[in-house]
Amino acid sequence: MLQLTLAAANHLEGLLAEKGASANAAIRIVRGTSGDLQLHTDLPKSDDVGIEHQGKTLLILDKQISDLLNDRVLDLVPSPGGNTLALMP
């Protein structure tokens, strides 16, 4: 299952707060039209895989994305434009 670092979890919490998301909302990882992974605020569906931090679901994934990201780690890393989320092996 995809793991979150503390830095990534804090960043996702900040994104949800910044968007004024409802208490049940989380960040969904989806595959974009060009095959890249994208983040969207969404509500969980019954067949989603939820990834929690301190009792709150921060990430939601469908089965296909969950399988794709199995055994990966989502971390917050420095980049020229500021910190960004990155998938680590």
**Whole-number pLDDT of residue 67:** 96
Domain limits, the chain:
3-88
Average pLDDT of span 38-66: 96
Report, in this order, helix, strand and coil percent for the chain, each rounded to 5: 20, 40, 40
| Strands 3-4 and 56-61, bridge-based pairing | unpaired
7-35 tens-digit pLDDT? 999 999 999 999 999 999 999 999 999 99
What is the topology classification, in CATH, of domain 3-88?
A: Hypothetical Protein Aq_1857; Chain: A; (2.60.300)
Q: Rounded CA gap, 18 and 83, in Å?
A: 16
**Whole-number pLDDT of residue 70:** 95
- Tokens encoding 39: 């983040």
63-87 tens-digit pLDDT? 999 999 999 999 999 999 999 999 9
